[in-house]
Amino acid sequence: MNLLQRIKNKVRARSIHVAYVDVGSCNGCDIEVLACLAPRYDIEQYGIYVHNNPREADVLLVIGAYTPGWEEKLGMVWEKIPDPKVAVAIGNCPISGCLFNRRESFVDAPVKKHIPIAAEVPGCPPRPTEILEAILSVRDSVFANWEESHP
């Protein structure tokens, strides 16, 4: 790995853009993602910027248990994100459907059936620290050696 690539890896890992999408949740997890932006957790000090535009995003936070209304739409959002990209499942809902995944309910969890998920954060809702840790855990691998692995 040459020096330029190493610098690129370092810098890019500190400049992550995040978009989030709620595919049918109770809003509990949305509030915790919001809390990450607040001064107490201050997600921006790590160079992570949440501005919710898929075309600029590197990390997609998926929240919610995947209701039928999202059947065509989540794939579209995922397609719009330029490579390299990862999706992180926030909360129990995208992992298992949480309390909504009962007989005769319409949710179609887990979300990893529909788009690839790189990391999962269990909890209902997960704590902001846990969400932060998950984003920080994927940020080094998203861009790492991107030019070399995709010539």
Partner 1 sequence: MGLSLIWYLREFARREWIKKFLFAKTAPLVTPSHFRGFPEPTGKTCQHALFCMMVCPAPGAIEVLHDGDRWMPRIHKGHCIRCGLCVEACPNGVLKSGRILETMGREGTSLLFSFRIAIDLELCTGCGNCCTACPVNKGIDAQMGAGGHSSNDDVIMRVQKGDIVVIHEDKCTGCKTCEVSCPTGAIRIARILEGYQQPVHEGLQ
Residues that bind partner 1 (CB under 8 A): 40-42, 45-46, 92, 95-99, 101-102, 120, 122-124, 127, 129, 132-133
Q: Does position 28 bind ligand SF4 by CB under 6 A? A: yes
Residues 6 or more apart whose Cβ sits within 8 Å of residue 88: 59, 60, 61, 62, 117, 118, 119, 120, 121, 134, 135, 138
Q: Classify residue 37 as exposed, middle or buried by CB count within 10 Å of its CB (0-12, 13-18, 19+).
A: middle
Minimum distance, C-beta of residue 124 to partner 1, in the bound complex (Å): 4
| Residue placing its CB nearer to partner 1 in the complex, 54 or 108 | 108
CB of 129 to partner 1, least distance (A): 5
Q: Are 121 and 92 in contact (CB under 8 A)?
A: no
When binding is defined by CB under 6 A, the residue of 25, 54, 86, 87 that contacts ligand SF4 is 25
Identify what 96 binds: partner 1, ligand SF4, none; CB under 5 to 8 Å per kind: partner 1
> In Å, how far are 42, 67, 71, 96 from 107, measured between CA atoms?
33, 5, 10, 10
| Burial grade of 10 (CB within 10 A; 0-12, 13-18, 19 or more) | exposed
Binding partner of residue 29 among partner 1, ligand SF4, none, CB under 5 to 8 Å per kind? ligand SF4
In the complex with ligand SF4, which residue's Cβ is closer, 1 or 106?
106
Shortest Å distance, C-beta 40 to partner 1 = 8
* Subset of 93-112 contacting ligand SF4 (CB under 6 A): 93, 98-99
